[in-house]
Amino acid sequence: MPNTDTSIDLDEIFAPIRQELDAVEREYMRHVQSRVELIPEIGRYIQQGGGKRIRPALLLMASRLSSYKGDSAILYASVVEFIHTATLVHDDIVDNANLRRGQMAVHSRWGNDITVLLGDYLYIKSMGLALTEDSLDVIRLLCDVTLRMIEGELYQLTKTGDVEISEEEHFEIIRRKTAYLFGGCSQIGGMLGGVSEEEAEALREYGFNLGVAFQLVDDLLDYTASKSTLGKPIGSDLREGKVTLPVIYLLQRDGDNADSLVRNVVETGEITPERWTELKQLLTEHRAIESAYDKAIEHAKLAKQHLEVFPVTPERESLMALPDYVLSREH
């Protein structure tokens, strides 16, 4: 992608909360223990697959910015990780994706029936964990963002294979599937610290715009990253019928040539290396990837602007660095 700074280190950004993130990992494993041995087995498998842990980290970092000192942030960060993991295992079934983070997707290894039930288990477990804390406002927020995510999944399904999807329709999917949860994570951090209404809104908007930028870059990686770095086959989105922003821009700018190529991939679910090369050339020629990346930059800048209501502290600077990392992602 254009002009990315690949030197940005996520581990460095997360260094101040490393102990808390490690505690979240332990909480996750503690709460997937069950007499049904399959549950912790799959739980370990998912955890070993890695992941960036941006959502729980966002909650932890926002709580620090808000001067919160208690243990509830770790518990709520664990809840968020359970919710996110549940969406991933269900997503892979819906998308019929065989790989996740470079290893077999859960449904590819254990089958759809077990995976659906595991996702349900993780959702219920997340809410059960949240109920151990006496904060109805946080529980309402978690329920709201989870419902929005599921609505986003359903809405995306209605748009799968739709070559005429509009830019606004695509952004509605991004908002519901990704951005609201990011916003909820940072907002919960502020709620724990008892920030003002203005600061709570700023944190929510920071997370929301960060989430939009994150998803835009994630969609772009399907066209710019290699299979080895991405952890899944390249071109997966389009072959699954997902027409994302770079392709929307290409279809707006190239007309018949791109339309025929894109429709063929969407309808057949296949693309030859030659057609893939042709598609990437068209995306480059018409600056579709660059334009989509510009949108990600726009939302990353908005995220940073919303943090300006807070005084300059090491905690704020860590959150300021996160949008830069998102823009520099290569996987």
Query: Across all residues in the chain, what is the average pLDDT?
Result: 92
Exposure class string for 41-50: b at 16+ Cβ within 10 A, else e:
ebbeebeebe
Structure tokens belonging to residue 57: 């980290």
* Dihedral sign of CA atoms 293, 295, 298, 304 in order: negative
Task: Say what the pLDDT of residue 134 is.
Answer: 82
Residue 238 neighbours by CB under 8 Å, 6+ apart: 222, 244, 247, 262, 265, 266, 271, 279
DSSP state of 179: I
Task: Say what the pLDDT of residue 5 is.
Answer: 46
Distances (CA, A) of 3 to 7, 10, 188: 12, 18, 33
The partner residues of 100 in beta bridges, in order of sequence, read: 103
In terms of pTM, does the model score above 0.85? Answer: yes
Long-range residue pairs from 158-164, CB within 8 A, at least 24 positions apart, any chain: 159/243, 160/240, 160/241, 160/242, 161/241, 161/266, 161/267, 162/241, 162/243, 163/243, 163/251, 163/259, 163/262, 163/263, 163/266
Sites in the chain below the pLDDT cut of 50: 3-5
Q: Which structural domains are found in the chain, ordered by start? A: 10-328 (1.10.600.10)
Which of 4, 8, 43, 3 has the alpha carbon at shortest distance from 320? 8
* Dihedral sign of CA atoms 214, 18, 304, 284 in order: negative
To which H or E segment does residue 256 belong? helix 256-268
pLDDT tens per residue across span 191-240:
999 999 999 999 999 999 999 999 999 999 999 987 666 666 778 899 99
